[in-house]
Amino acid sequence: MYDAREFPLHTGGNVYYNGARPYSKEANPFTLSGSDPKPAISDEGGSVYLHLTLWKKMQKAATSLVTTDILGKAKVPGLAYENTDGSPLVITTDYFGKKRNATGPSAGPFENPGTGKLVLKVW
């Protein structure tokens, strides 16, 4: 689906499960065709939880920190992605505020979430 987009994507290091196919121009996609993370969301007592299963082999994905240089420029304004103060962007923390591994961060929004059946409180 992404191969037919009008504007190019800047992607890399994503993990694709259960037959999902990567963008043809993605750098270092990692495919786990026979693995289904079985994602589910639950709402319990005002909190929201993400349920999923992850495997240790996912840690082999070739990743890097998201930065201004990697993101390039936004197509419409032609401007670089940056912090509000104009400094270069470097995503050094994950969704929970946990420090990212600078040389090989985990793929996705969670740094080293674990393996097996996981339940993550996301809200």
Residue 70 phi, psi (nearest 5): -70, -40
Give the pLDDT of residue 67: 93
Answer whether residue 107 shows pLDDT above 80.
yes
Answer whether residue 66 shows pLDDT above 80.
yes
CA distance 75 to 94: 26
Residue 61 in any domain: the answer is yes
Answer whether residue 74 shows pLDDT above 90.
no
Residue 49 in any domain: the answer is yes
Residue 17 in any domain: the answer is no
Q: Please compute the mean of the pLDDT values over residues 26-36 and round it to a whole number.
A: 88
Give the pLDDT of residue 88: 96
- Strand 47-54 relative to strand 116-121: parallel, antiparallel, unpaired? antiparallel
Based on the structure, what is the number of domains in the chain? 1
Answer whether residue 118 shows pLDDT above 90.
yes
Residue 6 in any domain: the answer is no
Residue 91 in any domain: the answer is yes
Q: Tell me the residue range of the domain where 82 lies.
A: 37-123
Give the pLDDT of residue 68: 93
Residue 113 in any domain: the answer is yes
Give the pLDDT of residue 36: 92
Give the pLDDT of residue 23: 87
Most confident of the following: 15-19, 22-26, 82-86? 82-86
